[in-house]
Structure 1
Amino acid sequence: MNLDQHTQTLGLRKAKHLLRRTSFDYSKETLSAFALLTPEQAFDKLIEDQPNLWSEPYDPRPEGNPDGNWTSSTQDPRSFSSQPRKRRIITSWWWYNGMQQNSLKQKLTFFLHTSFTVSKDDGSGAATHFYDHLRLLEHYAFGNIKTLSKKITFDNSMLDYLDNTQNNANNPNENYSREFLELFTILKAEQVGSGDYTNYTEIDVQQAAKVFSGIKIKTNRQLVDSDTNLPKGEININKHDKNDKTFSHAFDNTVITGSDTEEGILQELDDFVEMVFSKEATAISFTRKLYRYFVKSEWEADIEENIIKPLALELKDNNYEILPTVKKLLTSQHFYDSDDTNESDEIIGSIVKSPLQLLNEVISFFKLDIPHPLTQADYFYKFFNFIHSFYLNTAGMTLWAPDSVAGYPAHYQSPDFDRHWFSSNTVLGRYKLIESLLSGRNKIRNNARIHAELDIPTFIKENMSQPSLATELITELADYLYSEPISDERKTYFAENLLEGFPDYYWTNAWLGYEGSNDDTVVKPRLNALITQMVNAPEFQLM
């Protein structure tokens, strides 16, 4: 078991694996193109610059006098109406751009969201501040985690979400300092004493809060960070604890010199973050998060020793630049399950898809025609409202709004981890998704039009090589849809649904009749039933 590079051409099986783990784009064309690449060539392709097709969020309301590109406005962000709806528009902006690219950036942006959590619907401040927050994560998706840890301390959404804007020298608020240590960076390890969690202590939480004191929201966005060109919070020197900060044995009793100037307060923050990131436990924590996000939720001691620890060392040696470590992992024999012969420890097909992953695969593979967010704004927002407020919520994933600062349980809560995505509480949303997209109606609730509808007969005609032969069609679909080939018994099971008990030539004649007349009256309901069955099958729930 090692991190040696996998140098052979991917082929379809490994291209499916890579694209599911790294991109929103799961189209047949992209799969076929990546199948011809080596892992290194594929990785380089995934990090190519791909500009957003939708440049910035647009609000078409109020009618007659729309707020339009309100995120560019110099007006007070809080003065705009319908803040929750505007945060949803920003989320749709991020999602739509991701669907138009085959880039690692969106997956890494969302990874950073799972590490530095803000909930857009629970205390993240004005919608425009959430937009700045999302762009900050995107800015560092291919960048430096340690630098992000400093920048995000000044992020207006984070300042609001974890109350650091309320943190003053004479009235400390430890919410942000606690989560910075416990959840965002070094993480809480085994408790070894009263207030001592191995990696840090309660004293360190208190001292960190003093470092962070006096950093406040800058509501009007007039302060801009010179590195990111994004708005940031401000320093109120009068609210800052100007005394020295003495940390515990967990941080070698380090003393950070207090200051009463902006430059000195920034130095305090820099010294604190450097101190936290100098610890091996911080590198280990981020590496475990990356492994759980991209590879597998659980692992044995040999993976910890031979994969996690070497990657953590590389991350630390690269001063927490994220891409070298991610590249090492995603181009390794280990990632493609080629470094051992243990068939009980498969990586490919080992993760339950998140509701977002399930959605994106169905949309991109079956080529759903999504309404354009600018030329068809009303239809686009109604469609995204179905995705956001009905499908994803019912399936257990309120997008960019996990229930707690710990994030989505699938990313941190043992022993189930990703199995949280598939439960009696979430299965209805997952199963009703394909029914909704096939009918163009909200089958989760109210049967309203969703303004997007899959055309499966056309997709099959244009993309499958032998659509008139039932078993061959099912085999080809399964080869794309599932992580691994399916048995002859499973093919027969799916064929029974397509054929409705008739012989194979029933389907052949029906398909040839459709090709000759373009009348899909017979084939459409059978194909829709087949796709529903195949998408809702256990094999499609895994990646």
Structure 2
Amino acid sequence: MNYLDQYSGPLGLRKAKHLLRRTSFNYSKETLQQFATLTPEAAFNQLITNQNNLWSEPYDPRPETAPDGNWTSSTEHPNTFDGHFRKRRIITSWWWYNGMNQNSLIQKMTFFLHTSFTVSKDDGAGFSTNFYDHLLLLEKYALGNLKTLSKKITFDNSMLDFLDNTQNNANNPNENYAREFLELFTILKAEQIGNGDYTNYTELDVQQAAKVFSGIKIQTDRSIIDAETNIPKGRIDVNRHDQDNKTFSHAFDNTTIIGSDTEIGIVQELSDFVEMVFSKEATAISFIRKLYRYFVKSEWNDTVEENVIKPLATELKDGDYEILPILKKLLTSNHFYDLDDTNADDNIIGSIIKSPLQLINEVISFFKMKIPDPATEVEDFYQFFNFVHNIYLAAGGMLLWSPDSVAGYPAHYQSPDFDRHWFSSNTVLARYKLIESLLTGRNKIRFNNNIRVELNIVDFIDNNITEPLLARELITELASFLYPEDISDERVTYFAQNLLEGFPDYYWTDAWIQYKSSGDDTIVKTRLHALIIQMINAPEFQLM
């Protein structure tokens, strides 16, 4: 069987859970049941369908007397607005709210591109409007062309600021962006084989790349609009561009890029440089490995390298770096669903530790928690997002859109632990206290303040579980949706202890019947809280 042959049968619940977790930030019982009836191709087509944002545009309610409102679409110069640090977090809340409410591969891919072309919103991303434009650019190319994005992002105002290329001039070169473009964003470093020679490129190539990028500057007033994306971009200062020819090393076949003294010619230099980098097989392989680690598994053997990674890399390169066909081939393949062999030791389903973002989004969406409307319940929304962003995600090791390194989050690149970085002694408290915080509506990680959102677990069980008065059936049904795999009878018995308190099964049945007849949910609420805390904090729920 070809590893990348398309699986054509109906997904069923197990495969639907796997696909939805890997490709979306929204995870609901209804969507799972729908996806279970679809083929992988039909499900994939649904995931790439454009979905409208519930929250159309970021809104700043401050200052109270005259709110800045929808400042990201204002024609005013960005420096006329204050509080850009806070505004960047508002933009982050806008992205999070919309992503959490969509079954969309676009949102997952936007974040993947963030892990590949990293900018930190809280550490040098520039004006909040620049960061907003940066997100729009990543979203624009989430299912588009990686090579084109690599050209466009060089003119991105946030990137120009973050990696100092706006300071890169012919007479005073700054190699920061050039180095990261090669080392982290595209072809990658590979093994060092000599002084200044890293297999895929050399120090000479960094120097020449910096010359290609010289003179590309921030346009602070957002007045230059890219004709293809309709997104503001940076400018070219011809006089600060190195206009000489740029000759690269043996790693790039000693290619010479002709220098220019015109804006059109400088854009052509950039295009020629990107085309040169992307002509190399190592660039295609680096992207496929990143994609595989993000969607499939953090580690793989030589068989997968030969039968999945390299064929996809060849197809990516031959297809001029269009990402959508590659995503479709990978996410509908027998290999993605672990149907290409009979080896029980290399399971893909349930093999990745969830990021803190995936964890909270799944809990919120699966349990149908009502998040305050950012348009009509502004104060409550920002109070809750403050808990999500500043408390839970930060304590969980994930400063959203602000990794502490230009390399990104360690879970995506740092061997040998990779996604195991999400689960450590430093982050476990936030993960384990999350569900308790949501059940009580109080911040149980720090401060114990009101977070403005509370999960009514009794209502959820009453309205969404087929047999809520039968303890073992209730647990089995919950587990069938919450966990990658079905659980054993022994695990059901273990979880049932939280409902039964050591009594026979009829204890829970009687308690549920009493609640339904009297309306008093005191007992069932206490028992369900104990159960849900145990089930969400179980190892099975930490995996996807």
Q: Same fold (TM over 0.5)?
A: yes
SS in structure 2 at match of 1:387: helix
Other-structure match for 2:207: 206
SS in structure 1 of the partner of residue 171 of structure 2 = coil
| 1:299 matched to 2:300 | yes
Partner of 2:85: 84
Structure 1 letter corresponding to 2:303: D
Matched, 1:405 2:426: no
CA offset digits 1:44-92 (Å, max 9, x no partner): 0001111112111000011121110011112221331111111100001
| C-alpha distance in 2 between matches for 1:458 and 1:176 | 52
Partner letter of residue 56 of structure 2?
S
For residues 516 and 39 of structure 2, the distance between their equivalents in structure 1, rounded to whole angstroms, comes to 38
Q: Which amino acid aligns with 2:243?
A: K
Cross-structure match for 1:437:
438
1:258-407 to 2 correspondences below 5 Å: 258-407=259-408
Aligned to 1:234: 235
Aligned-partner Cα distance in 2 for 1:505–1:286: 55
Q: Which residue of 1 aligns with 2:169?
A: 168
AA paired with 1:438? L
Moved more, 148-157 or 501-510: 501-510
Aligned to 2:71: 70
Q: What displacement does 1:103 show?
A: 0.7
- Matches of 2:528 and 2:320, distance apart in 1: 52
**Mapped partners of 1:311, 1:196: distance in 2:** 27
Distance in structure 2 (CA, Å) of the matches to 1:39 and 1:72: 38
Provide the rounded CA distance (Å) in 1 between the counterparts of 2:66 and 2:514. 52
CA RMSD of superposed structures (Å): 0.6
Aligned match of 1:148 = 149
TM-score computed with the length of structure 2 as normaliser: 0.99
Q: Percent identity?
A: 76
| 1:538 maps to 2:532 | no
- For structure 1, the residue ranges without an aligned partner over 5 or more in a row are none
Alignment partner, residue 451 of structure 2? 450
Question: Secondary structure at the residue paired with 2:158?
Answer: helix
Give the Cα separation in 2 of the matches to 1:443 and 1:82: 29
Residue in structure 2 matched with residue 113 of structure 1 by the alignment: 114
Task: State how far apart, in whole Å, the 2-side matches of 1:356 and 1:31 are.
Answer: 19
Runs of 4+ aligned residues of structure 1 deviating over 4 Å after TM superposition are none
2-structure distance, mates of 1:150, 1:502: 66
Deviations 1:326-384 (A, max 9, x none): 10000000000001000000000000000000001000000110000010011101100
Task: Give the AA of the match of 1:443.
Answer: K
The offset of 1:24, in angstroms, is 1.3
Q: Deviation of residue 464 (structure 1)?
A: 0.4
Establish whether residue 480 from structure 1 lines up as the match of residue 495 from structure 2.
no
Task: State the one-letter code of the partner of 2:158.
Answer: S
Q: Which amino acid aligns with 2:313?
A: A
Q: Which residue of 1 aligns with 2:221?
A: 220
Code of the aligned partner of 1:236: D
Q: Distance in 2 between matches of 1:483 and 1:535?
A: 13
SS of 1:332's partner is coil
Q: Take 1:497 and 1:186, find their aligned partners in 2: how far apart are those partners? A: 52
Tell which deviates more after alignment, 107-116 or 44-53.
Answer: 44-53
Letter in 1 for 2:459: T
- Determine helix, strand or coil for the equivalent of 2:380: helix
Secondary structure (helix, strand or coil) at the match of 2:90 reads helix
Q: Which segments of 5 or more consecutive residues in structure 2 lack a partner in the other structure?
A: none
One-letter code of the match for 1:192?
Answer: I
Q: How many angstroms apart in 2 are the aligned matches of 1:171 and 1:235?
A: 16
Structure 1 residue 17 displacement after superposition: 0.2
Q: Distance in 2 between matches of 1:516 and 1:86?
A: 49
**2:95: which partner in 1?**
94
Count of residues paired in the alignment: 543
- Partner residue, 1:460: 461
Amino acid at match of 1:275: M
Q: TM-score scaled to structure 1, two decimals?
A: 0.99
What SS class does the counterpart of residue 21 from structure 1 fall into?
A: helix
Partner AA of 1:231 in structure 2: P
Q: Deviations over 1:183-211 (max 9, x none)?
A: 00000011110000010000000000000
State yes or no: 1:178 paired with 2:196. Answer: no
